[in-house]
């Protein structure tokens, strides 16, 4: 089942990835959620792959071989929503790690910029990388604060 899904996932992401390596990386992501995906059908898994790749519900239905209304029904199903959230979280974690991996390159760009050897676009790109990393860190801290607030609120009851 996963071999077929890997091929479909590569096709779903076509145009979203720069190279085949990213597609292979994407194929591995769904494997990491095996404990979640065992509770859903192959068609549901295909629809999830399409949804996380940004495809419309109509396109996801075509990929999965079902009616568009079925996609809407699945979106109301708790197991499907949990699997979709798990897939989104897995992709987000992977892409976040890739972004952090760019930090070293961004620093090198700054160093070249200081010595006058970097193009302005390279330095602006480095600034954008650090801006995104900053926003990720901020969101992470906000989530942690919210969890702490919920915990403290539950303890006070």
- Predicted confidence at residue 8, as pLDDT, reads 42
Q: Can you give the residue range of the structural domain that contains 114?
A: 2-156
> For the ranges 23-27, 43-47, 50-54, 142-146, which has the lowest average pLDDT?
23-27
53-103 pLDDT, tens per residue? 889 999 999 999 999 999 999 999 999 999 998 888 888 888 889 999 999
Q: Which of 55, 47, 34, 42 is nearest to 75 (CA)?
A: 47
Number of domains composing the chain: 1
Q: If pLDDT is split at 50, 70 and 90, which confidence band does 25 have?
A: very low
Residue 13 has pLDDT above 70, yes or no: no
Question: Torsion angle of alpha carbons 131, 137, 143, 147, nearest 10°?
Answer: -160
């Amino acid at each position: 089942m996963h071999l077929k899904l890997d091929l479909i996932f590569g096709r779903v992401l076509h145009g979203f990835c720069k190279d085949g390596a990213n597609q292979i990386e994407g194929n591995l992501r769904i494997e990491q959620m095996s404990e979640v995906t065992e509770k859903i059908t192959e068609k549901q898994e295909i629809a999830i792959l399409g949804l996380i790749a940004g495809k419309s519900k109509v396109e996801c239905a075509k990929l999965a071989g079902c009616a568009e209304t079925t996609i809407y029904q699945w979106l109301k199903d708790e197991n499907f929503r949990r699997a979709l959230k798990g897939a989104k979280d897995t992709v987000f974690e992977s892409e976040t790690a890739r972004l952090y991996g760019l930090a070293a390159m961004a620093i090198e760009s700054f160093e070249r910029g200081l010595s006058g050897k970097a193009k302005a676009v390279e330095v602006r790109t480095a600034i954008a990388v650090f801006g995104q990393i900053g926003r990720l860190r901020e969101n992470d801290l906000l989530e942690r604060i919210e969890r702490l607030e919920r915990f403290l609120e539950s303890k006070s009851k």
